[in-house]
């Protein structure tokens, strides 16, 4: 992390959890981070002195939901025949981010909820992406392998991020920021 004298960090997103939420496995290695340890690590990152010295506009981003069928197919193509992700576990890690955001008074971009709303989900219903329900075409459109985003998923991330910035720090919207360099078509300014 650069010092504030080297670079000023205006915005910082913390976007971890999709791999941390993997289930423990018997493959000899694991990416799993237990839920409470995950929450503590998010707090350590968000409150680290090297970050706090910049006083950035900080945003926590929940991990997205997953599509169990697509994840299992992608794993099977790699020769992995063990369930490593569940929609329910992904939901728990997203909730953990919401809790940390509330605890630290840091805005949360709820990507999990944004994807789920687009998938037609309502509180109390079975989770789209679970093998217990029919395949959800929206999640398939958003994620190519049940976890990693397609262009449509990245569009959701960008749109939600810009909405959060506009609500929370409206003076930081791109159209309200001054240019550091002249516009590309200002020939007089560039000739100086």
Note the pLDDT tens digit of each residue in 147-162. 999 999 999 999 999 9
> Which candidate, 60, 68, 56, places its Cα nearest to that of 95?
60
Residues 66, 67, 73: CA angle, nearest 5 degrees: 125
**Predicted pLDDT of residue 178:** 86
What sections of the chain are H helices per DSSP? 35-46, 49-52, 68-77, 87-104, 111-118, 137-142, 151-168, 187-191
Rg (CA), the chain: 20
**Predicted pLDDT of residue 183:** 85
**Predicted pLDDT of residue 81:** 82
**Predicted pLDDT of residue 30:** 76
Arithmetic mean of pLDDT over the chain = 92
Question: All domains of the chain, ordered by start, with CATH?
Answer: 11-175 (3.40.50.1110)
């Amino acid at each position: 992390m650069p010092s504030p004298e080297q670079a000023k960090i205006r915005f910082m997103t913390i976007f971890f959890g999709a791999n941390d939420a993997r289930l423990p496995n018997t493959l000899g290695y694991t990416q799993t981070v237990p839920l409470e340890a995950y929450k503590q690590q998010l707090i350590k990152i968000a409150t680290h002195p090297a970050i706090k010295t910049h006083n950035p506009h900080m945003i926590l981003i929940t991990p997205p939901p997953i599509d169990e069928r697509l994840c299992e197919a992608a794993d099977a193509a790699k020769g992995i025949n063990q369930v490593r992700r569940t929609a329910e576990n992904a939901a728990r890690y997203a909730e953990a981010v919401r809790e940390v955001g509330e605890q630290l008074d840091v805005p949360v971009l709820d990507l999990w909820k944004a994807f789920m709303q687009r998938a037609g989900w309502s509180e109390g219903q079975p989770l789209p992406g679970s093998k217990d329900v029919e395949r959800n075409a929206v999640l398939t459109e958003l994620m190519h392998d049940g976890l990693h985003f397609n262009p449509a998923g990245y569009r959701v991330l960008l749109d939600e991020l810009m909405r959060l910035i506009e609500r929370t720090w409206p003076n930081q919207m791109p159209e309200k920021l001054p240019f550091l360099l002249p516009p590309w078509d200002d020939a007089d300014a560039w000739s100086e």
